[in-house]
Amino acid sequence: MKDHDAVIAKLTTSLSPTLCDGFGIGPDTAAEILIVFGDNPDRVRSEAAFAKLCGVAPIPASSGMTTRHRLAWNGHRQANAAIYRTAIVRMQHHQPTKDYVAKRTAEGLSKRDIIRCLKRFIAREVYGRVMADFHARTALSAAT
């Protein structure tokens, strides 16, 4: 099992060196996220498209005078689960996230809504890291 984890860590680091630098993103989570991007991350045209692909894009679910959102039911379920695990780890061990949760709880949001917001933020962060690594890798290979 340790050998398997080492191989996954090596592969994910070679494809996206900065992805595992995010708090709560380990090699297994990075692998799930990189599976969603596939061989060509340029095919995912924006971070909103990536969020929809992972099932963390907010969808209006308002009725009457209430304005709220929910997450899409479709999308890559394993990537959604990986982003969820990252959100839970950050809620438990990352002080800026703990502060954010306290602030949003004081504003009256439920834990479910706070996790939805965190998942969207994590998707935005992950998209930026993967695309920056991809463009750096393609620029390096083009220069060689």
Task: Report the predicted TM-score, pTM, of the whole model to 2 decimal places.
Answer: 0.85
Give the model's pLDDT for residue 144: 65
Average pLDDT over residues 53-73: 72
Q: SS in 3 state form for 69-131?
A: EEECCCCCHHHHHHHHHHHHHHHHHCHHHHHHHHHHHHCCCCHHHHHHHHHHHHHHHHHHHHH
Give pLDDT, residue 122.
94
